[in-house]
Structure 1
Amino acid sequence: MTKRKVAALAAIGCLMMAATAWADEAPARPLVTDPVYLGPARLVDIGGRRLNLYCRGRGSPAVIFDAGANDTTIAWALVQPAISKTHMTCSYDRAGLGFSDASNRPGTSANDVDDIHKALQVAHIKPPYLLVGHSAGGMAVRVFADRYRDEVVGMVIVDGSHEDQVSRAKAREALEAAEMPALAHRDVPPDPHCVDAAKSGAIPKDSPAYTPCVGEMYPGVDQAITDKTFAVMAALKSQKAHASEDANFATVSADETRATRRDFGDMPIIMLTHAPRPAPKGIPQAMQDRRTMVWEQLHNEVAAMSTHGVNWIVPRSGHTINYDRPEIVIDAINLALAIATGQASQPKVTHDQP
């Protein structure tokens, strides 16, 4: 996960940093060594440009994975292989990110959906689809499910972004500043101007902007894959794509998501929410608890859009639940598939999944 603008945007950037406070408590993870992440898996022409699509497995419904902001197919390296044992699965790099070609369109949720839907058609990956989205990808899968309702049988949203999170965060911050005036004057790290830093073609490794703009990798990824991923993410193409997604997140993409339906009938919607975080130094626990309640309420609202909707609070996890607790994501996908195909009933609403 990139640390850039996390405070302001409340967990929308997520390039691969899974070094959370819960890492020591979570089970040991397998090393990610699949060479597919060293280059494009399949470049699918969607009309004059190509999208990197990584599909494996067989079986319907097909499971389609959308990563969070500034992230790529590797976001699902600990989840996709398990699901592909029983179902067709596809992850992809959004336009300009990873090994996908750049686009001349803004990085919005609707454009993301348009791209992946075209890619699935070209690649002959037929519906029905179960959609899985992490962070900002959680908004895009709702746009997809709304636009192609007859093709979608369920959604699993992993600590998903919400169209109102920025406005509610601002309201919460105003209240906090009134309670603790020092918060209104706290230092905010300057924007590292990532696109400018990459103007030579890529951000140099010795640039002070490199780590803030590129991020940090989950420690279980093979070094060769880490090096290749960072080289791709440091490129000007990727930095421009991320900047466009960032610029549109709270405006165009939020409006596109806000315009989607509020009733998905009995389509299973399983929300996964990261564990409550301890209060940072200098912040009263009551204030931190209020922050937790706001985030959980946003997810509860999405779960309430279905009679088969549920929000699971995932212990020992940070925002990157797909890295911290991939087994929970796998369980949620399998349960959503079982409900969608009539093999299981509605999930229990619980706030303490194992």
Structure 2
Amino acid sequence: MQRQHSQGTPGTARTRDGRELFFMEQPGPAGGGGATVVFEGGLASTRSYWAPVQQAVTGSARTVVYDRSGLGRSAPDPSGLRNLNRLADDLGDLLDHLGPGPFVLVGHSWGGLIVRVAAAARPERIAGLVLVDPTDEACDLLLEPSIRKLEKNRYRISVLLARLKLFGLFFRKVTNALPPDAAADMRAEAFTLAAVHTMGAEQASVEADLRTLLDHPPKLGDIPVTVISATRPTPGMSAEARQSVNASHAYRARQSPHGRHVLAQQADHMVPTDEPTIIVTETERLLGVEDPAAAAADPSPEQ
């Protein structure tokens, strides 16, 4: 008998314009019920790096990871459009396929913006958001011209490394933290030239998307929002930049009547693999299955 994949059973969901999104699902505890937890990756990230968090949360809820168009096992978007609204619409279509909800959405980095926009489109089915070291339009640093130059340089270098089949070497810390099957998937799917081209497409509208959000922030009402900030040095990020990013996270948490800002003391930007337990704790808090032992060792929320 073939052993089940650590990220669950594969499936596909169809978008409103006919594209198929690949996802993997763990059914959660016997009897089901409660909210479904859906994980959204960062810029051009595949589903695989969520494995440590997903495995732990599956004991409390149904969990779903997926690949956006052009990533992993999802076909490219023939329109070429990968702006924030289109990404959020795709997530909304996946949620339609999964059922009526409620859903807890967990978004990392650029995925934090995607889940906010998707939640604002249908807030009645969202039980909570966990934003993991998210990109946030309140961070002025992200609108500086130097960031656009850095993004372009990163894209050029990534294309070269993907062509040489060396791109994955820079993510060994991440893949080494994953179960063997998820690590194998990530090595095979996440560092290809096609994935890098998708990164360029997603990256192309970052500044325009951020400026749009400044003028028209997603309205989340009373949806509980937890924001997790990394605290350890992240390659390529100065201490001043980290301070600015985390200040935007604190601001985002304050915008929710049920906001919470938590510091990941053991993690750089890759919180899902550096410190998965903090994401598990905060997700389960929103699911209403808080562990008394975890509560006694609360990870110092910054409100």
TM-score (norm 2): 0.79
For residue 265 of structure 2, what is the aligned residue in structure 1?
Answer: 315
What residue identity is the alignment partner of 2:229? Answer: T
For residue 325 of structure 1, what is the aligned residue in structure 2?
Answer: 275
What residue identity is the alignment partner of 1:168? Answer: L
1:93-152 Cα offsets, whole Å, 9 max, x none, are 011001101002321221112112212323x43211111100000001110111111111
Task: Indicate yes or no: 2:99 matched with 1:125.
Answer: yes
Shift of 1:159: 0.4
Which of 193, 200, 203 is matched with 2:163 structurally?
203
1:255-275 Cα offsets, whole Å, 9 max, x none, are 25752345x343211100011
State how 1:239-250 maps to structure 2 within 5 Å.
239-250=196-207
For residue 54 of structure 1, what is the aligned residue in structure 2?
Answer: 24
Task: Indicate yes or no: 2:250 matched with 1:300.
Answer: yes
What residue identity is the alignment partner of 1:48? Answer: G
1:59-80 Cα offsets, whole Å, 9 max, x none, are 3211111011121111210111
**Residues 317 and 82 of structure 1: CA distance in aligned 2, closer, same or farther (over 3 Å):** same
For residue 259 of structure 1, what is the aligned residue in structure 2?
Answer: 216
For residue 67 of structure 1, what is the aligned residue in structure 2?
Answer: 41
For residue 271 of structure 1, what is the aligned residue in structure 2?
Answer: 227
Q: Who wins on radius of gyration, i.e. which is larger?
A: 1
| Structure 1 stretches lacking a partner, 5+ long | 1-32, 175-186, 341-347
**Structure 1 Cα separation of the partners of residues 54 and 111 of structure 2:** 16
State how 1:1-354 maps to structure 2 within 5 Å.
35=5, 41-46=10-15, 47-57=17-27, 58-105=32-79, 106-122=81-97, 124-165=98-139, 167-169=140-142, 190-191=153-154, 193=156, 197=160, 203-205=163-165, 210-211=166-167, 215-216=171-172, 217-221=174-178, 225-252=182-209, 255-256=212-213, 259-261=216-218, 264-277=220-233, 288=239, 290-338=240-288, 350-351=300-301
**Structure 1 Cα separation of the partners of residues 146 and 300 of structure 2:** 29
**Structure 2 Cα separation of the partners of residues 227 and 335 of structure 1:** 31
**Residues 111 and 189 of structure 1: CA distance in aligned 2, closer, same or farther (over 3 Å):** closer
Shift of 1:252: 2.8
**Residues 125 and 85 of structure 1: CA distance in aligned 2, closer, same or farther (over 3 Å):** farther
Q: RMSD of aligned C-alpha atoms?
A: 3.7
Point out the structure with the larger helix share: 2
Contact 2:128 2:286 in 1 (8 A): yes
**Structure 2 Cα separation of the partners of residues 118 and 336 of structure 1:** 23
1:28-75 Cα offsets, whole Å, 9 max, x none, are xxxxx97466x9921223243210111212332111110111211112
| Structure 2 stretches lacking a partner, 5+ long | 291-297
1:13-42 Cα offsets, whole Å, 9 max, x none, are xxxxxxxxxxxxxxxxxxxx97466x9921
45-54 vs 143-152, greater mean Cα deviation? 45-54
SS state of the match for residue 205, structure 2? helix
What residue identity is the alignment partner of 1:248? Answer: S
SS state of the match for residue 204, structure 2? helix
Contact 2:87 2:114 in 1 (8 A): yes
Q: How many residues align?
A: 285
What residue identity is the alignment partner of 1:329? Answer: I
1:232-283 Cα offsets, whole Å, 9 max, x none, are 2343432221111111222236525752345x34321110001153999xx9
